[in-house]
Structure 1
Amino acid sequence: MSENIRDLLNKLTLEEKASLCSGEDFWHLKGIQRLNIPSIMVTDGPHGLRKQEVKGDHVGLGGSVKATCFPTASATASSWDEELMFNMGVALSKECLAEDVSVLLGPGANIKRSPLCGRNFEYISEDPYLTGKMGASLVRGVQSNGIGTSLKHFALNNQEYRRMAIESVVDDRALREIYLPGFETIIKEAQPWTVMCAYNMYNGEYCSDNKTLLTNILKEEWGHTGLVVTDWGACNNRVAGIKAGLELEMPSSGGVNDKLIVKAVKNGTLSIEEVDRVVLRLLNLIFKANEGKQKDYRYDVDEHNNLAAEIAGESMVLLKNSEEILPLSRDERILVVGEFAKKPRYQGAGSSLINPTKVTTLLDALENLQIKFDYIQGYNIDSDIPNMELISQAVDSAKTYDKVVVIAGLTDDYESEGFDRTHLDMPDSHNKLIESLCEVNENIVVILQNGAPVIMPWIGGVKAVLEGYLGGQASGTAMVNIIFGIVNPSGKIAETFPLKLEDDLASKYFGMGPKTVEYRESIYVGYRYYDKAEKDVLFPFGFGLSYTNFEYSDLKLNNKNISDNDKLLVSLKIKNVGDVYGKEIIQLYVNDDISSVFRPQKELKAFKKIGLNPGEEREVNFELTKRSFAFYDVESKDWIVESGLFNILIGSSSRDIRLEESVTVTSDIRRIIENLEPKAPEYYNLIEYNTISNSSFIELLGRDLPVQKRLKGEDFTITSTVGDVSSTFIGKILYKNISKNFLKPPSGEEEVDPTMKRMMESIIYEMPLRSLVLMSGGKISFKTVNILLQFINSNYLKGFFAIFKPS
């Protein structure tokens, strides 16, 4: 095949080569009919297939075909089950085969820097090791059936606010130790067919133009053999992108950028060899995808729904179970309260919105099992304001029931692609309901439906909390199976739940803008910060309860003294000492006893999920390598280990360490590693400091901070956002017209969904002006936008003469 592809490459004209470098439309890659090069389809789908029924509307957010809606990434990450993720990937690939889709756009491997990110439900974890392992398993599953994946969003896209224009300012250690390792693991272990570059900037360059990310790291250092595709409309400079390692622009820009490629080759700015390298990777993807197609393929819809229920059951996390109130008994009088029981929130909003094959609510699942219960609405999902009449009805009823199950959480307009959260609170209507019920009944069980951590002011008054996350279309089945003991909960949260937002260091510097966001917390993200600062949390990373108990014992290391190039073998025994079958997630953390550089108290370096019958005991084995002990050395630009003592910590969570052993690691590093404590003391003593000064961050960054705000009198440019220019008279008119066009309801619908509308309003406001050209399919030209910019910048004469100047 490789010889045939090279032969095809030689037969392509320059114009045809350039045309292959961008999409045919919103979801298809171009083909070349005369050479029998087929067009293939890509579509959204980290947790389900989102294939539009038509070619694509103006923003790609219209209706889609029916598909299985699996739990979102924040849920599946909590399963810590690599095999289950592989199986989910296989199921997704089957649905792609049935719909003639060649590449599924996912998974999302961006780190949960702050719990405020509106898209956290679509991302895996705050921990890069867990992110990498779970993501790699999903990719392997999808690609095992000849369907490609698109690992996204590479890199440093950790917020929705101004994601299309903002520059992420991050030090090299944080980049390498926190934000890139998840991507690195997935690339090296699973080789996703494509990687999607992010909208934002890193180190002064947009990710689509960033050679450091796309070539030096991704292709050369990690050995990625697939291609890089832009996020939709993220192409900044097409020619610079090709030089940087960007292969495919999506969606179609109507030939605008294709012409720029041809022009650049003809004037010598771009070599034909650079174009050929791009086209070769594109052809490899197209023909590999075409080989995997299976005509008239069908999948078992019910089987996939059952798998969705199984995954949800493995992913839900029992956070509290006082007096072993769960599991419930069928003989008890049970009241279910909360509109989510009837109208569940089982997925997130935005480009990952799935049209499910079916939805099983909590009430449906109870009825399916013939469990007797009564139901009260409790709150209105369309309003945050407590409805005292509904609450009173629930309170009056609750007094006479044995157990009250309340289902609550976050409504759609609290978290979505396109905008971030500003707080961690649940709606007042949900909190007030729970608090009121606690006053009249002591047996309250809360089930949560949310995509990210929330504050729980009522936690002391309820007896049980089941974190259901966004559990997919079969989440109702999973919830009922758990609360009635049909399934023993085994999930553990893949992110820290803080007591309050103010406790989170990264959130102090989250959002920022309008030009830059500073990652001042460096490597101290999630539990790495809370442990170092010795802060109490609501629930720690890796925490989750079971209906049984597990005993850890007999921790052994194969060697107590190793070199940094040796492998360390770790073994221990785990026993189910309870009365029912259960699964435990054994977590291995490494602690560097003494270090010249600042390091976390502990870091996850291995985990394993195993199932045990009552009384059963098994041995669990881990293997640690140099990277398990190393930190990234900025001076040598490599991973190094300092000689010294390391502690091997085995835990049931990050704050429940059951076993501990130590090993001495000897390194061949002889030079003195600089200790930055005198220059940047905050990073060494987070108990004393709860903010990071400018001077310390600059010392860590190794350069001055880029300008964060637009300077007075500074001209607007083609990378300025629609919102930026809306402060001017002409910009205001432009914004109004764009909004009117983009916010048209999809065909056949009377109005845009309120959450979708809010998302689109945010995207429009924060869209760079260059995207008007790219997302219009060529209907708007760069010339038109540049003329508008002259008038926006009050250069009226230049703008007037530019109208008559040839393109």
Structure 2
Amino acid sequence: MTDTTGTRHEQAVETALGTLDLDTKARLLAGRDMWSLPAVPEIGLKSLVMSDGPIGVRGVRWTADDPSVALPSPTALAAAWDPALARRAGRLLAQEARRKGVHVVLAPTVNLHRTPLGGRHFEAYSEDPYLTGEIGTGYVLGVQDGGVGTTVKHFVANDAETDRFTVDNRIAARPLRELYLAPFEAIVKNARPWGVMTAYNQVNGTTMTEHHHLVNEVLRGEWGFDGVNVSDWMAARDTRGTIEGGLDIAMPGPHTVYGEALAAAVRAGEVDEALVDAAVRNVLRLAARVGALDGTEPAVTDPPAPVDGDALAREIAHRSFVLLRNEGALPLAPGHRVALIGAAARDARILGGGSAQVFPAHTVSPLDGLTAALPAGTLTHATGADPSDEPAPAGPGFALRAVCRDAAGNVLGEGNLPGGQVQWIGDDLPDGVTHERLHSVEVTGTFTPRESGDHAFGTRGLGAFTLTVAGETLYDGVQEMGDEADPFEAFFGSPTERGTVTLTEGEPVEVSLLHPLDREHAAPLPGVMFSLVHRAPRRDPDQLIAEAAEAARAADTAIVVVATTERVESEGFDRTDLALPGRQDDLVRAVAAANPNTVVVVNAGSPVEMPWRDDVAAVLLGWFPGQEGGAALADVLTGAEEPGGRLPTTWPAALADAPVTDVTPVNGQLHYTEGVHTGYRAWDRAGTTPAYPFGHGLGYTTWEYEALELSPESATVRVRNTGTRPGRETVQLYAAPAGDDPVDRPARWLAGFASVQAGPGETAEAEIRLPRRAFEIWDEETGAWTAVPGTYEIRAGRSLTDTRLTALLTVGTD
């Protein structure tokens, strides 16, 4: 956005603001509904529409009927260590947003992986604030290149899910500045985001939606943020506190602490109207930037060239895959017989659970991808072990629709339901249906089994249900709230099995789940949320594992796909351990014993324990790889593409080894007692060795580091490809004090990085900026950033623990 455009925007904002009365201004700061703000036609203001991200743009409808491109998870995007790739991802998402009529994407999430137990870590980038800030900057620039706003979230310290609505995170000033605020600061200064989302939690005694110091004095004052500040959904709790704390928009609406309540507070003399005007200016500025305010051009008049979503999703996936171990098993030898093993190989786990979910038009599973890539007759598949024995939302084999009725039983409308989940948030209801008239929803249709046996059916959600399968009523009762601390978990999690029916492969049966609605069991947000769930026939796990081992024994290479589930990694709860669910560890051990040439592919958004990792020939981390994950996996396994990822977070061998694990508040408070020592910094301080260090990742070629040259502001690293294949290398720079450190700092920290490409025998030079901030600390006494003068070692290498070259840099106080 040019200065001239910005000036025109400010003029248009002031003109529009000057015509508004108090009630209209107050109404503009409250959501019109779940996803949008009110329009004000008399000033040419259109309704601003927001949508969840970050891997896709769902739009205002939470349904597979309105598909979206599904990119790999944010941990995967960060694993590519490429801000330019993140920018391309952002441009694609802007394209998706425009297609769906969305002005603002509720992303990116730049909270840190403080501990490995965070249940929502798949939605954030890294344990390192610098890497997080660089990837987040690329993402925001890309989305806003397309004329669509972002809301960098969750400001700040929403680093775990336990008691997230109420927890008071107690953080000293240094770690707050150097770690948790640092990614937000970098993005604000380098990408100028048009929005920020404030979190549910408190920081040092003040809820973030009312945090005058961090929002008004730091975010807006020190950093110069001029965008809009929107609450996380239902996070705003007090009218005066939020407006004085710098919150511009309270979502969702229309019943919030703003609107009528805010106008009344102004009239009662409790709130200064100038604060309302300041918030409205921010909203109108956002509207001007995205083209929703008449009388001025949007910030972007010519969006970037169209992006092929499928191709980019596939590229990001293979660029993100981290080859943790490879004893010559990969890439696959041509013509090898391959046994593909695992339930997750057939039914792909492509994304995490909760509000980050989108519904792609298609999904390429590992089985799909390898079937297409390998010669006919060379691939077999065995289930081996299912990662979960819980029922899951109805999927393959079901043909369902949702029928809506009023109190008299008359049909109001119906909608297709490609899966078993009804998730109608806000006014996202089928045509002809309103909340006022809606009395019941029936999920009805047919199920054609893929296998014979005893199929289990059940429900997920709260309230009354009647479940009927093949003419048999399996359940007719009421599901009450259980022990879930988070109200969202009752709707997104906790599937309950209600009964089994013996079915025959290929023979369809009628299914029905009737759900009368009542206020007592209403969803935490306006809407309707429940699911028909299903579990395929159980077979003896030992027999399944034995069959998988036999398949592996008959193959040249065995590939085992293991995964977490939505009950392990999702919004609303933290993890209690890092073990793979079900019998998957037993499966890997059995397959590896049967075939020494075993490759394990791990589909998880954040660390899992891999007790068998040294007993298999290769371990490939596939994250949650998005809709094209299976195609990208085939690319990497066959050698058509190189696994390009490097770990953005340390992976422990066992949870007990991790130095920071506390996510549970005591008396409402969670103390960040580790200070500035989190992630690899904490591992260094503890002196323990993880399974795989920060920055680790192998490729299909080898590299020699030939030279490192330093200037006060940059480094040049020359590397040579010494292998037989072209490749990409992620050159990483770490800074460490040379000698005794006068202050309490980590032993070393990431100072810069860059990617280079070279063919066999070729050299490449990585030019890497050394930011001044890498040699500064937050001085708690002066309340300012202060350089720590002295001599530093600058180490260049392939990971935190595999540095190849070292040079000295002297830093002064100027």
Category of TM-score, reference length = shorter chain: 0.7 to 0.9
The C-alpha deviation readout for 1:25-65, integer Å capped at 9, x for no partner, is 00011111333321121000111011133xxxxxxx66562
How far the C-alpha of 1:363 sits from its partner, in A, is: 1.4
Letter in 1 for 2:93: L
Letter in 2 for 1:65: D
Give the AA of the match of 1:571.
T
Distance 1:596 1:170 in 2: 22
Q: Does 1:529 align with 2:682?
A: yes
**Partner residue of 1:352?**
356
Contact 1:145 1:292 in 2 (8 A): no
Q: Could you say which structure has the higher helix fraction? A: 1
Q: Which residue of 1 aligns with 2:710?
A: 557
Aligned to 2:217: 216
Name the residue aligned to 2:799: 653
- In 2, the alpha carbon distance for the partners of 1:41 and 1:299 equals 23
Alpha carbons 1:160, 1:418 under 8 Å: kept: yes
CA distance in 2 between counterparts of 1:608 and 1:283 reads 38
Higher percent of residues as strand:
2
Q: Report the CA distance between 1:627 and its aligned residue.
A: 1.2
* Counterpart position of 1:96: 97
SS of the residue 2:594 aligns to: coil
- Deviation for aligned residue 1:330: 2.8
SS in 2 for 1:580: coil
1:250/1:243 CA distance change after superposition, 3 Å: same
Is the CA contact 2:757–2:764 (under 8 Å) kept in the aligned structure 1? no
String of CA shifts for 1:579-623, please: whole Å, max 9, x gaps.
001101001111123222211111101100111111111222223
Q: For 1:598-613, what aligned pairs fall within 5 Å after superposition?
A: 598-613=744-759
Alignment of 1:95-244 (within 5 A): 95-244=96-245
RCO higher in 1 or 2 (8 Å CA, sep ≥ 6)?
Answer: 2
Query: For 1:321, which of 308, 323, 326 is the aligned residue?
Result: 326
State how far apart, in whole Å, the 1-side matches of 2:579 and 2:298 are.
46
Instruction: Write the distance in 2 (CA, Å) between the matches of 1:500 and 1:606.
Output: 29
1:30 aligns with one of 24, 35, 38: 38
Are the aligned partners of 1:27 and 1:43 in contact in 2 as well (CA < 8 Å)? yes
Question: Alpha-carbon deviation of 1:358?
Answer: 1.2
Quick one: distance in 1 between partners of 2:567 and 2:642? Answer: 32
Q: Distance in 2 between matches of 1:640 and 1:176?
A: 12
Structure-to-structure mapping, 1:519-668, within 5 angstroms: 519-558=672-711, 567-593=712-738, 594-667=740-813
**Offset of 1:428 from its aligned partner?**
3.6
Moved more, 396-405 or 138-147: 396-405
- Equivalents in 1 of 2:352, 2:637: separation in Å? 24
Equivalents in 2 of 1:3, 1:667: separation in Å? 42
* Structure 1 residue matching 2:562: 3-state secondary structure: strand
The question of whether the paired residues in 1 share the 8 Å contact of 2:94 and 2:144 is answered with yes
Report the alpha carbon displacement of residue 465 of structure 1 after superposing the two structures with TM.
Answer: 0.4
Aligned residues of 2:91 and 2:304 also touching (Cα < 8 A): no
Distance in 2 of aligned mates of 1:293 and 1:621: 31
CA distance in 1, matches of 2:202, 2:219: 16
Kindly report structure 1 stretches of 4+ aligned residues shifted beyond 6 Å: 297-301
Q: Deviations over 1:60-110 (max 9, x none)?
A: x66562010000101110000111111111111111111110001100000
Q: Distance in 2 between matches of 1:236 and 1:95?
A: 33
2:207 and 2:803 mapped to 1: Cα distance? 42
Q: Give the secondary structure class of the aligned counterpart of 1:585.
A: strand
For the residue of structure 1 that corresponds to 2:567, the secondary structure is helix
Q: Does 1:40 align with 2:48?
A: yes
1:534 is displaced (CA, Å) by 1.9
CA distance in 1, matches of 2:647, 2:273: 50
Matched, 1:332 2:344: no
> Does the Cα contact within 8 Å between 1:568 and 1:625 map onto a contact in 2?
yes
Cα distance in 1 between the residues matched to 2:208 and 2:246: 10
Return the offset for 1:229: 0.3
RMSD: 2.0
- Cα deviation per residue 1:121-173 (whole Å; 9 max; x = unaligned)? 00000000000000000110010011011100000001101101100011111
Q: 1:288 matched to which residue of 2?
A: 289
Q: In structure 1, how many angstroms separate the alpha carbons of the residues matched to 2:358 and 2:775?
A: 41
SS of 1:477's partner is: helix
2:47 maps to amino acid: S
Deviation at 1:191, TM superposition (A): 1.2
CA distance in structure 2 between the partners assigned to 1:606 and 1:288 by the alignment: 32
Give CA-to-partner distance per residue, 1:376-397, whole Å, 9 cap, x none. Answer: 1111243289811211111222
Secondary structure of residue in 1 paired with 2:355: coil
User: 2: distance between equivalents of 1:661 and 1:366?
Assistant: 45
Residues 152 and 237 of structure 1: is their aligned pair in 2 closer, same or farther, counting only changes over 3 Å? same
Asked whether the equivalents of residues 94 and 299 of structure 1 are also in contact (C-alpha less than 8 Å), the reply is no
1:550-588, CA deviations, whole angstroms, 9 ceiling, x for partnerless residues?
A: 111221223xxxxxxxx4332221111100011010011
Residues in 2 aligned to 1:299 and 1:644: alpha-carbon distance in whole angstroms: 48
In 2, distance between residues paired with 1:294 and 1:63? 30
How far 1:19 sits from its partner (Å)?
0.5
Q: Partner of 2:452 in structure 1?
A: none
Match of 2:518 in 1: none
Given that residues 591 and 647 in structure 1 are in contact (C-alpha distance below 8 angstroms), is that contact kept between their aligned partners in structure 2?
yes
Deviation per CA, 1:633-678, whole angstroms, max 9, x where unpaired? 100111112332211111210000111111222226xxxxxxxxxx
Give the letter for the 1:73 counterpart: P
The amino acid that maps onto 1:576 is N
Contact 2:387–2:562 (CA under 8 A) maintained in structure 1 = no
2: CA distance, partners of 1:388 / 1:255: 54
Aligned to 1:430, which of 578, 584, 609? Answer: 584
TM-score, length of structure 2 as denominator length: 0.78
- CA distance 1:499–1:149, change in 2 (3 Å): same
The amino acid across from 1:193 in the alignment is W
Helix, strand or coil for the counterpart of 2:263?
helix
How many residues align structurally?
650
Cα distance in 2 for residues equivalent to 1:633 and 1:298: 43
- Aligned sequence identity (%): 35
| Alignment match, 1:342 | 346
8 Å contact 2:29–2:279 — kept in the other structure?
A: yes
Q: Give the 3 Å change call, closer, same or farther, for CA 278–212 of structure 1 in structure 2.
A: same
The equivalent of 1:416 in structure 2 is: 570
Tell whether the 8 Å contact from 1:632 to 1:638 is kept in structure 2 after alignment.
Answer: yes
- State the shift of 1:299 in Å: 9.6
Amino acid at match of 1:137: G
Q: 2: CA distance between counterparts of 1:365 and 1:438?
A: 23
After superposition, the Cα gap between the structure-2 partners of 1:156 and 1:393, relative to the gap in structure 1 and judged at 3 Å, is same
- With 140-149 and 2-11 compared, the bigger mean Cα shift is at 2-11
Name 1:447's counterpart in structure 2.
Answer: 601
- Whether 1:21 aligns to 2:65 is no
Tell whether the 8 Å contact from 1:449 to 1:468 is kept in structure 2 after alignment: yes
Tell whether the 8 Å contact from 1:337 to 1:407 is kept in structure 2 after alignment.
yes
Letter in 2 for 1:545: L
Is the partner of 2:750 in helix, strand or coil? Answer: strand
Give the equivalent residue in structure 2 for 1:49: 57
Q: How does 1:669-708 map to 2 (within 5 A)?
A: none
Is the Cα contact below 8 Å between 1:147 and 1:292 reproduced in 2? Answer: no
* CA apart distance, 1:344: 0.6
- TM normalised by structure 1 equals 0.78
8 Å CA contact retained: 2:331, 2:637: yes
Equivalent position of 1:738 in the other structure:
none
Distance 1:535 1:64 in 2: 49
Partner Cα distance (2:196, 2:673) in 1? 27
Please give the alpha-carbon distance, in whole angstroms, between the structure 1 residues aligned to 2:788 and 2:187.
Answer: 27
Q: How far is 1:345 from its partner?
A: 0.3
Code of the aligned partner of 2:249: L
What's the offset of the Cα at 1:335? 0.6
Deviation of residue 243 (structure 1)?
1.3
Distance, in Å, in 2 between the alignment partners of 1:13 and 1:277 is 14
Give the Cα–Cα distance (whole angstroms) in 2 for the partners of residues 590 and 610 of structure 1: 21
